[in-house]
Amino acid sequence: MSQTQIVTLGTGTPRPDAHRVGASTAIIVNGQPYLLDFGPSVMLRVVQARQLKGIESLQAQNMTRAFLTHFHADHCAGYPDLIFTAWIQDRVNPLEVYGPLGLKSMTDHIIAAYQANIDEHLSAHPADPNGCKVNAHEIEAGIVYKDENVTVEAFPVQHGNMLAYGYKFTTPDKTIVLSGDTCPVDTLLEHAQGCDVLIHEVYCVDAFKKIPPEWQAYHSRVHTSAYELAEIANRTRPGLLLLHHQLWWSASEEKLIAEIQERYDGPFASAKDLDVF
């Protein structure tokens, strides 16, 4: 019988936080992890999830499938970490990565930047030469990946001028939708209807009012407020709403949670790094 787990490896934002690293989520189906985004410190969190939380399927050699929402650094600065740290921890199969146009160029440049590291390991260490290979797949909207565990569909979201996607994972026992970074968009409403879990970014309304006007203009165009997310959840009715990539600036997580509760009465949780659902 299939069992799907969600591990919120990193729930952070571009603003450094001692308790939250860059955005990354692992969806694990029948022991196979699928990574959504790979922000800073992604492999540290993978190891911590295994050693501290007992998620044994998060072995480095299993980290072979990943999906990128967009190119902001808090979502992809851990890409070299995912490639090379997993490799020296005995990954023997190439890493398959799916993401927006530009992914192949990013991948090629990372491989070139770390060529000395690759050469040294291949010449002096018993590292498998296939383990550092990366197959970068540049996607468009629609089904982008399918195997015996999952069907993965990408849909466009709105994050300023950057090409960005959300993802819908359909497993034998769950439907999981991850927003990526976005303001409210119809494509997410369409794909999230009645899903089992909606993982969505969010910012605190009260704290938003206190940031400079130029930053208010920016965040209102590219992110989703707590009140907007409550409306999205009311319209889609997920089995569980997970707050992710939470921006609360000068406020607190408790204030953000209270804002969701003001306008949404369904089940939800504010995810922290290394939470398991």
| Dist CA 151 CA 65 (whole Å) | 13
User: With 0-12 CB in 10 A as exposed, 13-18 as middle and 19+ as buried, what is 254?
Assistant: exposed
The residues facing 189 across adjacent strands are none
27, 37, 107: which is closest to 78 by C-alpha? 37
Integer distance in angstroms from the first to the last C-alpha of the chain? 17
> Running along the chain, 277 residues long, what does each successive block of 10 average in pLDDT?
88 94 97 97 96 95 97 98 94 97 98 95 88 97 98 97 97 97 98 98 96 94 97 98 96 96 98 98
Burial class (CB in 10 A: 0-12, 13-18, 19+), 126: exposed
Q: Which pLDDT does position 1 carry in this prediction?
A: 47
What is the per-residue pLDDT for 2? Answer: 60
Q: In what order do the strands lie in the sheet with 197-203?
A: 142-146, 151-159, 162-170, 175-178, 197-203, 240-247, 268-270
The tokens describing 160, both together, are 């300023």
4-276: CATH number: 3.60.15.10
User: How much is the pLDDT for 124?
Assistant: 85
Which of 162, 157, 165 has its CA nearest to residue 140? 165
The residues that bridge with 176 in the sheet, in sequence order, are 169, 197
pTM across the whole model? 0.97
Return the residue matching tokens 């993802």: 167
Using CB atoms within 10 A of its CB, is residue 120 exposed (0-12), middle (13-18) or buried (19+)?
Answer: exposed
Instruction: Please name the residue that has the structure tokens 């607190």.
Output: 252
Give how far Cα 52 sits from Cα of 47, 49, 56, 64, Å.
8, 6, 10, 22
> Which phi-psi region, left, alpha or beta, contains residue 160 (left: φ > 0; alpha: ψ -120 to 50)?
left
Question: Which residue in 256, 248, 208 sits closest to 230, CA to CA?
Answer: 256
Buried b (16+ CB within 10 A) or exposed e, 3-38: ebbbbbbbbbbeeeeeebbbbbbbbbbeeebbbbbb
Quote the pLDDT of residue 256.
97
Given this model, what pLDDT does residue 155 score? 98
